[in-house]
Each structure stands twice: as structure tokens, then as C-alpha cells.
């Protein structure tokens, strides 16, 4: 069998394998379980730029001493709608997991609650952070800043991160409505994937090291930078993400951390904000019925695919048939799980 | 003196004149004061598409019986972070004004609070709704849906409104950071202004009545439609605005109201959501110092103009020299104030 041939693995097996990889490279079992679930979910949903593709970056970062894979997040109950977490230089996902029960309790009681995570590393997709709230009937919005690689609209050099915005809302008949969009023209992971495949990126994606427009992903990655999506509007949203995810949490801006003493470090050391709203406090018909009506009308207007649809379909297929993965990638994961 | 010649009016005079126009055409004095302040502020700040340009639309709408210019908003204290207002088929701004003290009290106490306005008409710029919160040291985000005129990315026909998002945050040394962006490629008012001036709109702005791309603003206004900004990402954000401003408030979606029995009606009858956060609950250095640091770095990256800068500069000039306005426009306003 050739090294490039595809093979199939179940979600449970992939998650268990990734847990081994994480613990083998220095995380606690608790952190390993959370990150493995997150990463296996992205791979299962076909979100390849945040699936097992990320594992070498996690491993080199843990090896560099840049992140604390055994960090114990410290949750602070600040006010009836405000929760803070110091992620203690660990990953953002365990910090969210630690604060989640309190955040949900506050959102249901106050009608809205905010979670401000600081001193955290986020190296994953953002939709896994919001979708579970919608599964419980809540509306969730999250932003996370990352690392300097986007030139603000009208500026000369990069400052912002790819700074994604993710949103999830329940609906009556079907999976939640979920989107997760980088405020850069494309996600950083997609530039890396294009570079690995030797493909071009679309026009308007980025600039080279001289600030000139380029479609070469390597030129963007090697001294170049990305542009915001949608010109000055995407740039304004990226600025908002810096303010919400860093200034409001006490985390670093995308340009503030220095990992030069940690070769191999890949995870941005910043902050993350989540806002969770209980639509049960709304007036009128139930939110889930109303969001379902919007979906109905979007389909009637000719929209074939809603945000999140492709992931949910890929997930359903993977649950029946398993996750298709390159044998070479799987062998590499197995190697990492051993040492 | 020619009818086209510019003249100068003070903010106080313009506001008083607009108050007369509103009361003369059927609003209560309270509603007139709020709308006149809003509209005069937009004109003073150079936000012409939401300044006196809007007055004929307000007048024809009031005359049509579509909106209640004397509505008394009903404020409901729903939970420690959740305020609802039934605008009672009146304008959104008086509903916000009625709920504002309670909203601020809740935001300061709970750390975050949400205001859900329904049964409301919003015909103005959105930044005047958020900027005053930043003046009081709070961070504010607002969304409002409008009327079907935007084709969702990937759909065949219009469904969403121009659905703006506005954000305001305080900073230590200077005016707040404020933006207000339509999730359509351009604002509806700017299409109307281009049509009036006989100018083209940029490529990617909209489609004609056959769904074909066009740069003719008249073709967009007469049976055509706008496109979202930034492709599928702007479209996802526009969808989010429908969910937050309508589904979560109990207001109408942009496609749900029927004003065909009210010729002259121009104001969308929808909903509006505001989220206000108290950054005093954040960890670390003060938010205003942190946002100031972001501004410093944005300038250092070569950004000459921040979101909101142009408005604030125009405002400062108008405060010294008065508001420049066409004599013809001023005469028309005086005529409307008389009858």
C-alpha cells in the first residue's frame, strides 16, 4: 500500500490517539482530553486547517516551553454577568471548559454573560467554542486575537492577527446555525495548506515582504502579510477583536508577545472573549422557531448552503463511515504518540 | 444669491429647526428632541447620508401613518443583565433613551447587559446609539436590521437588510474609537446619494432587477439589490444581525413587514440589539489605557485615520465654524417646519 493512500479511523480512535500525542508531549491528561476532542472534531468535520494538520505545531510549541500544557486555569466570579479566567499560560480551551458551568449559569440567570479569558493560547478553530452553547439553546459569540500577520486597511505594515469571529445560534429543526470567520482575507492555516500544496491564493489575500500584492502563499508566509477581508470594514472588525479579546480581558494584543527565545513556538499568547445570551428572555415567539423561519427564507431565496452546513454534513458522514485520513498522516501521529 | 450656494448654521439652530419639522409632522416634543439631536449630529459630523438628507423620508413616513411619532416606549426589566423595550411602533431612538439609565445601571452592576428593542423604526446612523456609552467609559456594540435589499451570498434574490454593526470603546487620550458599518457593500443612503448625483457606485456593490451586476445606483434602487460586503463573510454577519436584532428581540425580520398600504413609508419596522460591557471589570491595566496603546500602534503601523476620526474632526470644525449646508436644503427644511 502506498504511503499516500487514504485510510479510515473512527472519531473515538482518532481522539484517543491524539490524547496520547498530547500527554506524550507534556500536557496533563485533562488538557490532552480537551485538545484531542477539539482537534478530532475539526478533522471529523472536514475543517482540515484546524484538524490533525495542527498537531506538529502543538508538539513543537509544547517542546519549546512556550506554553504550559499542565496549566490549571483560575476562574474568577467577578459580577452577576462577568466571569474572568486566568489561563495561566495554558491553552484557552481548558480555561473555557473550567469556566463553562458558571458562564452558563450566569447567562441563564442574568440573560447575558461574558467570559474574559487572558494569558491563554488559542491554536484551534473557534466554532468548537461556540457551537456547544447553541446545542443547549443559548446564543454565543466569541472573538480571539492571534499574532501580527494582517496589515490594517490603510496601514503600511502588519499589526493585527487573523482575529476570527465565531457565532452560534440554535434553531428548531436541525443543527445550530454556526459560523467562524477569520477577519483576514483567508485563515492563516489555509495559507499554510496552499503553500504545502504549491497552490496560489486568491487576489487580495496578502502582500509580500515588500508590501506588494501577491498570490504566492510562500511570499505571504515568509516576511509578507495578510490583508483584512472586505477592506476597511473587515479591518474595523479586526480592530474590534483586538479590543474585545485583549484589552477587555487583560490579554496580550497580537503584537505584544515575543517568542523569539522559544524556537518552535507557534501558539499566539493572547486572550479570548465569549458572550453568551439566553434567548429565553426574548419577547414573542421562541428564538429557535424564529431562527428556523430565517433559515426557511434563506433557502427560499435560493441559498443552498448555510454557514456550518458543510461541516455538519461531513460530520454525519464521518459518524457513519469514519474519518478519512492519509495513511502517512496517521503513521506520523502514531509516531508522535510513541515519542 | 443662487439657490445652490452654501450657508452656515449652528448645531443648536439646526437642531431647533429639525425639532420644529418633527413636531409639525406629527411627533411628540420628546420624540422630536431625540430625532432632531440625532439628525443634526449626523449632519454636523459630515455623515450626510444620515443627516438632513433623511428628513423628507421621515416626513413622508410620518404622513403615511406607518410609524407612531408619539409612541411611548414600554421598558421591561427582565433579568439582572437583560432589558426589553417595546417601542410601540415608534422610533428606536426614544426607546433606547427610555431604557438607557437602566441599561447602564445593569452593565455597571452585572459587568454586561443587553437591550432588546422591538416593534421599532430605525432610520438613522447607528453610531449615535453607541458613542455616548463610550463617553461614559463603557464598551458598546449594536446591530439593527432594516428592509430586504441585500442578496445573501450564494442566493438568487434579496432577503437581508443593510444590517449595520456599530461599536464604540473609550480610550485614554482622545475621542472614543467608533465605527458603524453596513454589512451591505455600501449603505443604502449612499446609493440614494449616488443616484441623486448621477454617479456610479463601485463594482461589486449591487445587481439590477435581472440579478446582473451593475454600477448604476438607479438600477440597484429600481428593482435591483445590494450585495453583502466581503462575500460570504459579510453575508454571515448580515445573517447574524437578523438573528440578534429581530429573532432575539421579538422584532420583525427585514423581510416581514408590509408597508404597501402606507405610501410614503420609508422606515423599516424591525428591532435593535445593544450589548454594553463595563471594562472596569477587566483584569490588568485600565481598558482606556490599553485601547490607547492599540491606537498608538495603529498609527505607528502607518494608519493615518482611525474609524471615527473623520467624523470627530468634522465635528470639531463645525463646533468652531458652524455646519455648512446648502441654502436650498435649508430653505426646504424651513418650509417643512412651517407645514
Kindly report, residue by residue over A7-23, the tens digit of the pLDDT: 999 999 999 999 999 99
Q: Which residues is A171 bridged to in the sheet?
A: none
Could you report how far apart the first and last alpha carbons of chain B are, in Å? 25
Q: How many whole angstroms separate alpha carbon A300 and alpha carbon A281?
A: 29
How does residue A2 score in pLDDT terms, banded at 50, 70 and 90?
A: very low
CB A18 within 8 A of CB A40: yes
Mean pLDDT of A85-93: 98
Q: Are strands A112-121 and A82-91 parallel, antiparallel or unpaired?
A: parallel
Compute φ and ψ for A180, nearest 5 degrees.
Answer: -150, 105
Going from N- to C-terminal start, the domains of chain B cover 1-64+308-339, 73-184+228-306
Cα Dmax for chain B: 61
Burial of B251 (0-12, 13-18, 19+ CB in 10 A): buried
Rounded to a whole number, what is the distance in Å from the CA of A188 to chain B's nearest CA?
Answer: 16
What's the pLDDT score for residue B188? 85
pLDDT score of A152 more than 50: yes
Kindly report, residue by residue over A202-234, the tens digit of the pLDDT: 999 999 999 999 999 999 999 999 999 999 999
Which residue carries 457513519 as its cell? A320
Mean pLDDT of A309-333: 95
What's the pLDDT score for residue B1? 41
- Would you give per-residue pLDDT tens digits along chain B (339 residues)? 444 689 999 999 999 999 999 999 999 999 999 999 999 999 999 998 899 999 999 999 999 999 999 999 999 999 999 999 999 999 999 999 999 999 999 999 999 999 999 999 999 999 999 999 999 999 999 999 999 999 999 999 999 999 999 999 999 999 999 999 999 999 888 899 899 999 999 999 999 999 999 999 999 999 999 999 999 999 999 999 999 999 999 999 999 999 999 999 999 999 999 999 999 999 988 999 999 999 999 999 999 988 889 999 999 999 999 999 999 999 999 999 998
What's the pLDDT score for residue A195? 94
What's the pLDDT score for residue B26? 97
Q: How many whole angstroms separate alpha carbon B130 and alpha carbon B180?
A: 9
> B285 contacts in A (CB within 8 Å)?
250
Q: How many whole angstroms separate alpha carbon B23 and alpha carbon B29?
A: 6
CB B4 within 8 A of CB B326: yes
Compute φ and ψ for B104, nearest 5 degrees.
Answer: -65, -45
Which residue carries 452592576 as its cell? B109
Q: What is A185-227's CATH topology?
A: Wheat Germ Agglutinin (Isolectin 2); domain 1 (3.30.60)
CATH architecture type of domain A74-184+231-307 = 2-Layer Sandwich (3.30)
Q: Which carries the bigger pLDDT value, residue A42 or residue A188?
A: A42
Rounded to a whole number, what is the distance in Å from the CA of B303 to chain A's nearest CA?
Answer: 4
Compute φ and ψ for B311, nearest 5 degrees.
Answer: -60, -45
Label residues A271-295 b or e (16+ Cβ within 10 Å = b): bbbbbbbbbbbbbbeebbebbbbbb
* The three grid cell numbers given for residue B324, joined into one nine-digit string: 455648512
Label residues B142-162 b or e (16+ Cβ within 10 Å = b): bbbbbbbbbbbbebeebbbbb
What's the pLDDT score for residue A151? 97
Does ipTM come in above 0.85? yes
Rg of chain A in Å (alpha carbons): 20
B116 touches A at CB < 8 Å: yes
**Considering chain A, what is the average pLDDT of its residues?**
96
Residue B161 CB-half CA count within 13 A: 30
CB B181 to CB A236 under 8 A? yes
CB B230 to CB A233 under 8 A? yes
pLDDT score of A116 more than 80: yes
Q: How many whole angstroms separate alpha carbon B268 and alpha carbon B276?
A: 24
How does residue A1 score in pLDDT terms, banded at 50, 70 and 90?
A: very low
CB A337 within 8 A of CB A21: yes
Strand order in the sheet with B225-226: B213-214, B206-207, B225-226
- Between 3.50.50.60, 1.10.1740.10, 1.10.1530.10, 1.10.645.10, what CATH number should domain B1-64+308-339 receive? 1.10.1530.10
* The three grid cell numbers given for residue A60, joined into one nine-digit string: 513543537
CB A114 to CB B113 under 8 A? no
Q: Please check whether the domain covering B73-184+228-306 is classified as CATH 3.30.1370.60.
A: yes
> What count of other Cβ atoms lies within 10 Å of the Cβ of residue A220?
27
Which residue carries 510562500 as its cell? A218
Q: How many whole angstroms separate alpha carbon A267 and alpha carbon A66?
A: 8
> What count of other Cβ atoms lies within 10 Å of the Cβ of residue B60?
17
Cβ contacts below 8 Å, chain A against chain B, sum to 231
Burial of A41 (0-12, 13-18, 19+ CB in 10 A): buried
Which residue carries 460570504 as its cell? B232
Q: How many whole angstroms separate alpha carbon B246 and alpha carbon A297?
A: 14
What's the pLDDT score for residue B2? 45
Mean pLDDT of A164-180: 96
CB contact residues (below 8 A), chain B span 228-257, against chain A: 229-234, 236-237, 239-240, 242-244, 246-250, 253, 255
Q: How many whole angstroms separate alpha carbon A182 and alpha carbon A177?
A: 17
Amino acid at each position: 500500500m502506498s504511503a499516500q493512500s487514504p485510510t479510515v479511523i473512527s472519531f473515538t480512535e482518532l481522539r484517543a490517539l491524539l490524547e496520547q500525542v498530547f500527554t506524550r508531549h507534556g500536557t496533563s491528561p485533562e488538557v490532552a482530553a480537551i485538545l484531542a476532542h477539539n482537534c478530532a472534531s475539526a478533522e471529523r468535520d472536514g475543517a482540515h486547517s484546524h484538524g490533525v494538520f495542527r498537531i506538529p505545531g502543538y508538539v513543537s510549541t509544547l517542546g519549546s516551553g512556550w506554553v504550559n500544557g499542565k496549566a490549571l486555569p483560575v476562574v474568577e466570579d467577578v459580577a452577576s454577568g462577568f466571569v474572568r479566567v486566568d489561563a495561566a499560560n495554558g491553552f484557552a480551551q481548558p480555561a473555557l471548559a473550567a469556566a463553562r458551568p458558571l458562564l452558563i449559569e450566569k447567562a441563564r440567570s442574568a440573560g447575558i454573560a461574558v467570559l474574559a479569558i487572558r494569558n491563554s493560547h488559542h491554536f484551534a478553530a473557534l466554532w468548537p467554542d461556540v457551537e456547544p452553547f447553541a446545542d443547549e439553546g443559548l446564543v454565543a459569540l466569541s472573538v480571539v486575537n492571534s499574532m501580527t500577520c494582517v496589515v490594517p486597511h490603510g496601514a503600511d505594515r502588519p499589526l493585527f492577527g487573523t482575529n476570527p469571529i465565531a457565532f452560534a445560534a440554535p434553531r428548531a429543526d436541525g443543527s445550530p446555525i454556526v459560523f467562524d470567520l477569520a477577519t483576514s482575507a483567508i485563515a492563516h492555516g489555509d495559507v499554510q495548506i496552499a503553500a504545502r500544496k504549491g497552490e496560489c491564493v486568491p487576489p487580495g489575500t496578502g502582500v509580500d515582504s515588500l508590501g506588494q500584492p501577491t498570490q504566492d502563499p510562500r511570499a505571504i508566509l515568509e516576511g509578507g502579510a495578510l490583508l483584512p477581508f472586505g477592506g476597511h470594514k473587515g479591518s474595523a472588525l479586526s480592530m474590534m477583536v483586538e479590543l474585545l479579546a485583549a484589552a477587555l480581558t487583560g490579554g496580550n494584543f497580537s503584537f505584544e508577545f515575543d517568542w523569539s527565545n522559544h524556537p518552535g513556538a507557534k501558539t499566539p499568547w493572547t486572550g479570548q472573549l465569549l458572550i453568551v445570551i439566553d434567548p429565553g428572555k426574548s419577547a414573542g415567539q421562541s428564538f429557535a422557531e424564529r431562527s428556523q423561519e430565517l433559515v426557511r427564507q434563506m433557502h427560499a431565496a435560493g441559498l443552498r448552503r448555510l454557514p456550518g452546513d458543510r461541516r455538519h454534513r461531513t460530520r454525519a458522514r464521518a459518524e457513519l463511515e469514519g474519518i478519512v485520513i492519509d495513511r502517512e498522516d496517521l503513521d506520523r501521529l502514531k509516531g508522535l504518540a510513541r515519542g
